[in-house]
Amino acid sequence: MGSKRELCEVNGDTNTRDKKQKQQIVNSVVKIELKKKKQSSKKKLRVEDEKERKKAGGMPIVKKVAEKTMKKGGVAMKKELPEWKIGVNPMGSHWCNVLPVRKSDGSFKFADLPSTRKFNPNLSPSQVLRMGSFGGGYFRSIKSSVTGKVYKDAWKELPTEWIKGMTPISQLASQKYVKSVNKFGVDCGAKVDKKDTHGLGYWEMKDWINEQDPYGWFMWYCRFFQGRRSDDDERQISRWEKFAGVKGRFRNNLIKKVLIAGASYDDPSVSPVVRQSLQHWGFELQQCHVDIYAKANKIKLEK
Residue 277 domain-assigned (yes or no) = yes
Residue 83 domain-assigned (yes or no) = yes
Residues 176 and 220 grouped into a single domain:
yes
Residue 61 domain-assigned (yes or no) = no
Smallest CA-to-CA distance from 80 within 69, 93, 96, 94 is with 69
Mean pLDDT of 253-258: 98
**Mean pLDDT for the chain?**
84
Report whether pLDDT(251) > 80: yes
Residues 17 and 73 grouped into a single domain:
no
Residue 303 domain-assigned (yes or no) = no
Residues 249 and 104 grouped into a single domain:
yes
Residues 115 and 258 grouped into a single domain:
yes
Residues 151 and 191 grouped into a single domain:
yes
What percent of the chain has a predicted confidence (pLDDT) above 70? 74
Mean pLDDT of 44-50: 49
User: With contact defined as beta carbons under 8 Å apart, do 240 and 281 qualify?
Assistant: yes
Mean pLDDT of 88-112: 94
As a whole number of Å, the CA-based R_g of the chain is 29
Domain boundary, last residue among 9, 25, 55: 55
Report the pLDDT value the prediction gives residue 116, as an integer from 0 to 100.
Answer: 82
Q: What domain range includes position 48?
A: 1-55
Question: Could you read off the pLDDT of 144-163 as tens digits, one per residue?
Answer: 999 999 999 999 999 999 99
d(CA 238, CA 213): 16
Report the pLDDT value the prediction gives residue 80, as an integer from 0 to 100.
Answer: 77
Termini Cα distance of the chain: 100
Residues 6+ apart with CB under 8 A from 249: 242, 243
Whole-structure pTM value: 0.76
Mean pLDDT of 240-260: 97
Question: Could you read off the pLDDT of 167-219 as tens digits, one per residue?
Answer: 999 999 999 999 999 999 999 999 999 999 999 999 999 999 999 999 999 99
Report the pLDDT value the prediction gives residue 302, as an integer from 0 to 100.
Answer: 79
Report the pLDDT value the prediction gives residue 235, as an integer from 0 to 100.
Answer: 97
Report the pLDDT value the prediction gives residue 77, as an integer from 0 to 100.
Answer: 44
Residue 256 domain-assigned (yes or no) = yes
Backbone angles phi, psi at 6, to 5 degrees: -65, -40
